[in-house]
Structure 1
Amino acid sequence: MEIKYCAYFRKSSESDDRQALSLPAQEDEIKKLASKLGITLIAAFKESKSAKKPGRPAFNEMINLIGQKKINGILVWHPNRLSRNSVDSGAMIYLMDQGLLQTIVTPSRSYVASPTDRFFLGFEWGQAKLENDNKSVDVKRGMTAKAKMGWLPAPVPEGYKNTPQKLMGYRTIVPDTKRFPYLKSCWYSILQGKRPVEAYEEGCRAWKEAGGKDELICRSGFYRMISNPFFYGEFEWPKGSGNWYHGKHKPMVTKEVFDLVQTKINPNHKSLRSKHDFPYRGLFFCGDCSCMVSGSRKFKFNRSANSPIPYDYYRCSHKSQKQSCIQPPISKSVINEQLEGIVKSIRIPKEFLSWANKWSSYLETEENKQEIVSVVNNSNDISVLEKRSALLLEKLLDGTITDAEYKPAKKKISDQITLLKNTENVLPRKVSYRKLLDEMEFALTASQKFRKADDMGKGRVIKDLGSNFLLKDRIVSIHLKNSYYVFSKVSDWSISEKKAFELTKYDDILSKKPDLVPSNPMWLPG
């Protein structure tokens, strides 16, 4: 059957200034490939669209032409240019199953409508989708981490600006020195009795009189501003999640001013946030009914101080409709006492941390060496196979072998090359020694940090310990992270119980690296 080829070029961004070299580079590669293979292209499809979702116009046009039997071969730079989603990938696999799509040719290899090649194509597209999905997860994780640091991971409201001149990961939020004072004055105009629309118009006039060329803020943006907690220093991320963070940006107004403005706008307004900060609210759950534990503040009059003294208590929120909960409240001081005991239990000696740094550095170096050797061996094997492929093509061209002999031999070599390249992508993931060392450093100082921290600081320390924080019968329980759990079970770091035969497997390492010999043999892995 005669194969009628088309070319497909795609770059991910729809913006002209991003990946500007991507499409020309792909076109050059495909032109060289077509010339080398003696292929005449009857059509070319080019677009700047993400492939993570179906619905690309040029791609759909190409699929329709394949369905109409006008095209049955595709030249493309890489399979991930064709698809990064399961719908489009499945459509092309199905076209191959039906015999409508005969081959997909890339500069590195060709895929025909055989079961093996369809499997490898599915693997390539699955890997492309995995990369795309992982990017989404990593971006969300990074944005949440930024929110925890106190910076809004989203476009900032009017009156503020980001710092794009700083390196990625170090960008912050600063006041827009031009607009900030004029917008701030609008808040106080409302407090003085002006209606919001009057305060808005007054601020815009002052901005224009001061030489402002563009608009200070649009009317709808102004109404969003005077009801946005960001302006007094707090923000919710993600929006609607109920997770509130204290921002590190400079507040435009205080919380008191914000609440007063809300009452001016809406007399029935209730404060968005509690007037008290409870470090363990939202962290603990009831061990009886699994409902969230909430905090409350009570005042008791102290005669000697002649003033009321605040006391914080935590208790089950009793929101379960399936069962009634009778768990008693517990005071903050009792929780702090129990948490301090848990934190103290995960302490490690400084000598152990110092030795662990050296030991992990040695292991990481050895793993890197093994990985380099594996990659080099793989590259050498691929180079040998590519030479064999080139030699096979020469034999076909000079008539030493027939086309019927060439195709299966070429396919066998191509499959071996693909298998080796895929092996490079699935090398064993290395142990994260840095993460383990960070946890050790935290364990070394956690007790001191907890003791010296204020209430909110204590909550941040506890969050790093583990998960599944429960309160039941006035007893605190925490599911510690694996490393912290191990540390908590070591009652005496000076005990040495390793037997001689258990240490012999480290003789070669310790004889070559005497600085790795621990002061206690128990520290060596079992």
Structure 2
Amino acid sequence: MPNNCMSMNNNKYFLYARKSTDVEDKQVLSIEAQITELRAFAKQEGLHIAEEFIEKQSAKIIGRPIFNKMISRIEHGDANGILAWHPDRLARNSVDGGKIIYLLDGGGLADLKFPQFWCENTSQGKFMLNIAFGQSKYYVDSLAENTKRGLRQKVRRGEYPGLAPVGYINDVRTKSIVVDKKRSVIIRKAFTLYAKNSSRLEDISNFLAQSGIHSRNGKRLHRDRITFILSNPFYYGHFRYGGEIHEGKHQPVVSKKIFDKAQEVLKQRGRPHHKQKNEPQPFCGLLSCASCGMMITGEYKVKRQKNGNVHEYVYYHCTKKSKMKCPEPCIREEELDRQLSSLIQKFSLRQDWAEQLREMLEKEKSESAQSSTAFVQEAGERIRAIQTKLQRLLDGYLEQDIEREIYRTEKAKLLSEKKSLEEQMTRIEQKRTGWLEPAEEWIREAENLPTIANGEDLFLKKVAAKKIFGSNLILSNRKVRLKPEKVPQIQWAALAAANSQIGKMETSRILVREGGIEPPPGAWKAPVLPLNHSRI
């Protein structure tokens, strides 16, 4: 039975009719039918309709312009009642439903009328209205979940849940995607032409236009659209959905072999994925400019030929941040790589030398251990003796045989001596092993330099060059050089000098220096004889 929220007839009502094209309103009366029914209901109940609001939009999301306009008019006092077919016409989301309830609570809205729903402006009536709004929201939420579940099930069956790409059609009767016998032949020909690497994207667009395949506005397909078609796995029997590739049960238009060839051509001749302009190049920060002293930076360049071929290059040049006009020319990355690789090779350690040096290190380690062990033992005995004296001193003090002042003075002397011995023992232990680990690591690095120099990892080459030369490399007229009056790190300089003596001096004389290979106190030095070496 129709509901009258209130029996007052002096209220002004806004008639609100809504229907969307979404599935949620599939079974709802049309807008015309709603208006007809609501007008008849208003006449029957003696309701005054101040204005009619008609909206063709879903209520599951906020932001309906007509609904918001109606609410604004009510807040301004233009009306104090709403006439609608059902509460779900007003709201299917919690925000809009909350607005209606809030207006009822605040008095801005005095009455609601629904031919098919009981409601009155009481606590019980608002409770029932809240339930109706909740049911409306539950309906659309459940519908969305069911729709997504249905789409996932369709994907699992191998059916693409979307519009058919060009060359296929959506069969309404079977609700499946089938081959368009006419256009599929044209698409297959387009794939074949492009896979031969003899046609550009523009040529494929012209071919499709001549064959009757245009955009919706009748123009030629844009190259981006052609790229999308040629890279769509749907044409060989798979399809992309949700960011994943799925096996489809539709009929392929092209073979996987033709499709793969087209992808190779796209990669070679299509629009490349440009590196970001701020992407750091491998050798940045390694060299400085010989002319102005500024750093050398890298720049990515793309050159396109008229035949469609695309070439990518990386150039290194001065940043030219100095006030002077820098004349230093740029250099290709390949040439810079070649020069640095050749430079690094000069500091490589032969494998047979590495083995001999390791044997020498083991010998030094053994001899060093023997000499230091004797000192440690002697120092340990002295520390134990001091500990005994301290105990006797304490006993004498407790027995009152020694005065307090004498006790404190002697105790301080013994503790000072003990501390000095303990520190000496620590230094001896550190000295015994502290230089060996860096030496062993240096041998591994030097032995691995040929692999780095002959490899393709430019960042490893940069790291190696930094270790050898520090920040002393410059670029002068496209040539990599060492700064004047600068030499490589001493161990690397010694190794380069040793390499230069190959064939001129016996290996034993090159590797061994007087007094062994253990370095003097201080920073670790190379385990090779630093002979006179020529500048790089």
TM-score, with normalisation over the residues of structure 2? 0.45
TM-score, with normalisation over the residues of structure 1? 0.46
